[in-house]
Structure 1
Amino acid sequence: MNPKPERDRRRYDSPLRAEAARRTRATIRDAAARLFVRDGYVSTTVKNIAEEAGVAVRTVFTAYPGGKAEIFREALDHAVAGDGARDNDDSHSAGVAEAERKRRGDTVSHVDLVVEQLVAYGTTMLERAGGLLMTSVESSGADPDMRRFAADDARATAENARTLAEGLEHAGWLREDVTVEHAADVLFTLSSPQVHALLRRDCGWDVERYRQWLSGTLRATLLRRTAR
């Protein structure tokens, strides 16, 4: 008896099973993300997630043994990391805008490009992940996992803001009356999911209005007028 066909079938089935498991996890993750943003973390149950995803509760726990906290962590990581294709689209849009300015003969300084890229990156990330980040903030008082997630994000945002402020100071672009500490505080606040949610969700601004406001506010509050 030749065992080779059985071995070949097993080699074939293994990638298929792995891909099916990956798709199931993604379906559960995306369904949970929608519910977390819409209904909040505390109000969303594993049963709700299973129903939204069209799977059994048992399947949710098989895919995510850590339950809701594990699902939220993966959903947030996925949202922050983003989709390569969409990110490339954003970079392409920035390049098109730069080319249009050059065509009109507008002067484009190095600091202009840095601010534009900074704002574009921050806006794109918050458009993807802002809802989940706000879920962790708004649920932090009622859930220890959310409290930890919110604290971790605030810490990471503060560290990034400090690094950016130091870079602006090193380049000589900060106003003379603005310290690195002040710049870091401003960047931390302006790049927060809370400000993004207030303007985009509560005030109903479109993304372009938010982007222009963020760019203009950064320039007006932190940067020298003569920075090139």
Structure 2
Amino acid sequence: MANTTIICGAKRISVTYIVGMTQRAYTSPLRAQAAEQTRRAILNAAKALFAEQGYGRTSVAAVAAAAGVALNTVYTSVGAKPALILAMAREAAEDEQVERTVQQAADTADGREILHLTATNTSEMCGRYAETLTALLDARNNDDDVAAASDYAMRRYRQYLDIIADRLVDVDAVRPGIDRSRVRDIFWYYFGASSWATIRDLQWSLEEAASWLTNQAAEALLTTTVR
């Protein structure tokens, strides 16, 4: 803190000020909320268009128009098309329900319950991210950006499935002769993205699919398969 004197006409004015004080940056909660809502509208528009028209045939301008924002807003809020598809992939791969499924599996020692939790929760996620799944799987063999986003999402998803598969092994629910690596592969076979893509193409209900996958995985893995 310091004092200084300012001479204003015939008057002397003493002013006290704080040395080294800088103005703090202020972020408005309302502004941050509005920015997130804009970002969400952009991603939702991109999901719908990429799934319906295909990644390659969708322009950033079309995404902006569908989201009701200016073209430049898409670039400043999310980015160009590679950033859009990656943001979609990250959103799906990092959904909180994945962590909850892992925790739920860790809380039970019942092998069939572990399979049921996996089937039910992954079916809900695949329903919620159906457009993202369609966009990633349909274009990953034709576009390097989509392939990179798809690889990220699938790698993260498989890591979580591996954790749940390991739990099945650790509670001794797996029949003899099936090692940990094979259990992980069987989990990916039944609950991986390609399985859910096939179910999408068959137009099964998610509830029907979850029940069927639970039964099939139980037959393949468990020491007992009582339903």
Identify whether the pair has TM-score above 0.5, normalized to the shorter chain: yes
Amino acid corresponding to residue 123 of structure 1 in structure 2: S
Q: Cα deviation per residue 1:198-227 (whole Å; 9 max; x = unaligned)?
A: 11x211111111011111011011111179
Spell out the pairing of 1:70-81 with structure 2 (5 A cutoff).
Answer: 70-81=83-94
Q: Secondary structure at the match of 1:172?
A: coil
Q: TM-score of the superposition, structure 2-length normalised?
A: 0.74
1:46 shift after superposition: 0.2
Q: TM-score of the superposition, structure 1-length normalised?
A: 0.74
C-alpha RMSD of the superposition: 3.0
1:75 shift after superposition: 2.7
Amino acid corresponding to residue 133 of structure 1 in structure 2: L
Q: Cα deviation per residue 1:154-185 (whole Å; 9 max; x = unaligned)?
A: 33333334333332222111111322222111
Choose the corresponding residue for 2:71, options 53, 57, 71: 57
| Distance change >3 Å, CA 196–CA 165, structure 1 → 2 | same
1:83 shift after superposition: 7.8
Q: For 1:70 and 1:188, how far apart are their aligned partners in 2? A: 27
| Distance change >3 Å, CA 15–CA 131, structure 1 → 2 | closer
Q: For 1:17 and 1:161, how far apart are their aligned partners in 2? A: 38
Preserved CA contact (<8 Å) 1:80 1:125: no
Unmatched runs of 5 consecutive residues or more in structure 1: 1-9, 91-108
Q: For 1:174 and 1:122, how far apart are their aligned partners in 2? A: 21
Q: For 1:16 and 1:160, how far apart are their aligned partners in 2? A: 35
Choose the corresponding residue for 1:22, options 12, 24, 36: 36
Q: Please tell me whether Structure 1 or Structure 2 has the larger radius of gyration of its CA atoms.
A: 2
Amino acid corresponding to residue 197 of structure 1 in structure 2: A
Q: For 1:226 and 1:215, how far apart are their aligned partners in 2? A: 10
Spell out the pairing of 1:65-214 with structure 2 (5 A cutoff).
Answer: 66-82=79-95, 110-199=110-199, 201-214=200-213
Q: For 2:179 and 2:125, how far apart are their aligned partners in 1? A: 27
Q: Secondary structure at the match of 2:220?
A: helix
Q: Cα deviation per residue 1:9-67 (whole Å; 9 max; x = unaligned)?
A: x97x9333332222211111111111122222111110110111112212212222x31
Q: Secondary structure at the match of 1:177?
A: coil
Preserved CA contact (<8 Å) 1:139 1:147: yes
| Distance change >3 Å, CA 58–CA 34, structure 1 → 2 | same
1:137 shift after superposition: 2.6
| Paired residue total | 196
Q: For 2:92 and 2:157, how far apart are their aligned partners in 1? A: 16
Aligned identity (percent) is 25
1:81 shift after superposition: 4.6
Q: For 2:149 and 2:173, how far apart are their aligned partners in 1? A: 33
Choose the corresponding residue for 2:52, options 38, 45, 60: 38
Q: For 1:124 and 1:74, how far apart are their aligned partners in 2? A: 20
Q: Give the 4+ runs in structure 1 shifted more than 4 A.
A: 80-84
1:130 shift after superposition: 4.1
Between structures 1 and 2, the one with greater strand share: 2
